Amino acid sequence: MKEKTYIEDVDRSIYDIRNDETGAYRLQEGLSQKIVERLSEEKRDPLWMRLFRLESLAIYHQMKTPDWGPSLEGLDMDHIATYVRPNTKMTAKWSEVPKEIKDTFERLGIPQAERKSLAGVGAQYDSELVYHHVRQEVEEQGVIYTDMESALRGEYADMVRKHFMKLVKPTDHKFAALHGAVWSGGSFVYVPAGVSVTIPLQSYFRFNAPGAGQFEHTLIILEEEADLHFIEGCSAPKYNIANLHAGCVELFVGKNARLRYSTIENWSKNMYNLNTKRAVVEEGGRMEWVSGSFGSHVSYLYPMTILKGKNARMEYTGITFAGEGQNLDTGAKVVHAAPKTSSYMNTRSISKDGGISTFRSAVVVHKEAKGSKSAVSCQSLMLDSESRSDTIPAMDIRTQEADIGHEARIGRISDDAVFYLMSRGISEEDARAMIVSGFADQVSKELPLEYALEMNRLIELEMKGSIG
């Protein structure tokens, strides 16, 4: 019988270092009106926000838990703390961040990355941002990059109020309602008309507290002709009890503006990642998503783009790697609502060791969207028969003047390819790893170099093992 490559689980030691919650303020577990009121008080919300939270909570209680995707049975809201505030204040000086937290981010390479290649960095630790910094030259261009709480009370308060959860409404689904009720932390970015931010901004979300939820809100507004690359990184140490991430990302891309939103998600495998991301794109604007999903126990993640203006376009490049104990349901949705809009989705998914990956997509072309184009291509790789890989695309086309293409492929690493590489003296293990990285290359090449390296390292770690 042919021997198989044994593929080891990812070495998560860097991510798994946990800190004690010493001195952190932690809200009681579970969800009630009282808890939400306490939270609102804690955060010194304006009145409208307090009301918004309570309204969202009511919606949350009315809505049903989704039953069409991976099971959420392990998630017991009565045992999720919705708010854990680290024992520190937000700061713009790295030296002022408490040592323990600082060490965590140092190990993850965040400050180094900032020095090298970022225009600004936000670092969230549990429910609050602990560090936020923007380069001076970027600030001088009029770019605002701040934590959501400051934005809610500062100069841009009206703008926040006008946009906050207007794209993702609390009525969209149960976890959007939950987010509306208990959101905390996250970033607000505003790029004025014509301003091009040449190096990326980054927010890094670190989850330390066990049995808690992280509900950060990201709101990015790009005015006409603005240009930005925003990077989001996520990680957490593994605990035995469920953690929940129900963040919300709302992106407004103005006329002829371009926004690239990259995510490398590496939550620990006790995480329920129920994140909602949505963008609306005005005339001639361009939305680019780059998404790598490696962590989490369960993911429901389908960034949605509404192409609202003529000639708006979106590109989605995604990779999902589902290993042991993971059920990752990912994909994208696009609505063509204006003429000559175009969308392009390109995804790769890999399943191994009993991991389940599902690609779910929707392409909706309205009658008005004449002359639109859409191309979807998804490829899945199965590394063993303990795993599962499903492809569930849907297309709803209501104009003939559209050019719609879809292709999907599912299969395994070709024995011929492995043999070919081995015949040139490469070990089977290396050959397989090479083929998998090649398969993922489409996505990693879309990332800035450091992140591409980080992603390749993650894949290599996932693939590393010995012939057993």
* Residue ranges that bind other proteins, judged by CB under 8 A: 367, 380, 382-385, 387-412
Give the nearer residue to other proteins in terms of CB position, either 155 or 407: 407
- Please choose, from the candidates 330, 325, 375, the residue with its C-alpha nearest in 3D space to the C-alpha of residue 349: 330
Give the nearer residue to other proteins in terms of CB position, either 183 or 439: 439
Give the nearer residue to other proteins in terms of CB position, either 113 or 337: 337
Give the nearer residue to other proteins in terms of CB position, either 235 or 391: 391
Q: Give the β-pairing of 144-147 and 187-191.
A: antiparallel
- Please choose, from the candidates 354, 347, 214, 209, the residue with its C-alpha nearest in 3D space to the C-alpha of residue 274: 214
210, 96 Cβ separation under 8 angstroms: no
CB of 159 to other proteins, least distance (A): 37
- Between CA 290 and CA 231 the distance in angstroms is 9
Give the nearer residue to other proteins in terms of CB position, either 16 or 386: 386
Q: HSE, CB side, 13 Å, CA atoms: give it for residue 5.
A: 20
Give the nearer residue to other proteins in terms of CB position, either 410 or 461: 410
Question: Burial, 34: exposed, middle or buried (Cβ in 10 Å; 0-12, 13-18, 19+)?
Answer: exposed
Give the nearer residue to other proteins in terms of CB position, either 316 or 359: 359
CB of 361 to other proteins, least distance (A): 10
Torsion region of 18: left, alpha or beta (phi above 0 gives left; psi -120 to 50 gives alpha): beta
CB of 395 to other proteins, least distance (A): 4
Phi, psi of 180 (to 5 degrees): -60, -35
How far is Cα of residue 429 from the mean position of the Cα atoms in its chain? 30
CB of 417 to other proteins, least distance (A): 14
Contacts of 160 (CB under 8 A, 6+ apart): 148, 151, 152, 188, 219
Task: Map tokens 């999902």 to a residue.
Answer: 320
CB of 378 to other proteins, least distance (A): 9
CA distances from 201 to 54, 63, 110, 194, 325 (A): 32, 35, 12, 17, 33
Task: Map tokens 């099971």 to a residue.
Answer: 71
Residue 239 tokens, joined: 């605990």
Give the nearer residue to other proteins in terms of CB position, either 190 or 439: 439
- Write the DSSP assignment of 351-391 as a string of letters: E-TT-EEEEEEEEEE-TT-TTEEEEEEEEEEESSTTSEEEE
DSSP 425: T
Give the nearer residue to other proteins in terms of CB position, either 287 or 363: 363
CB count within 10 Å of CB 21 equals 17
CB of 119 to other proteins, least distance (A): 36
- Between CA 392 and CA 277 the distance in angstroms is 19
- Between CA 239 and CA 29 the distance in angstroms is 16
Helix (H, G, I), strand (E, B) or coil at 447: coil
CB of 267 to other proteins, least distance (A): 25
CB of 388 to other proteins, least distance (A): 5
Length of the chain equals 468
CB of 419 to other proteins, least distance (A): 15
CB of 244 to other proteins, least distance (A): 28
CB of 71 to other proteins, least distance (A): 17
Start-to-end Cα distance in the chain: 12
Give the nearer residue to other proteins in terms of CB position, either 392 or 426: 392
- Write the DSSP assignment of 42-64 as a string of letters: HTT--HHHHHHHHHHHHHHHHSP
- Between CA 270 and CA 352 the distance in angstroms is 18
Give the nearer residue to other proteins in terms of CB position, either 82 or 380: 380
Give the nearer residue to other proteins in terms of CB position, either 108 or 304: 304
Helix (H, G, I), strand (E, B) or coil at 103: helix
CB of 343 to other proteins, least distance (A): 14
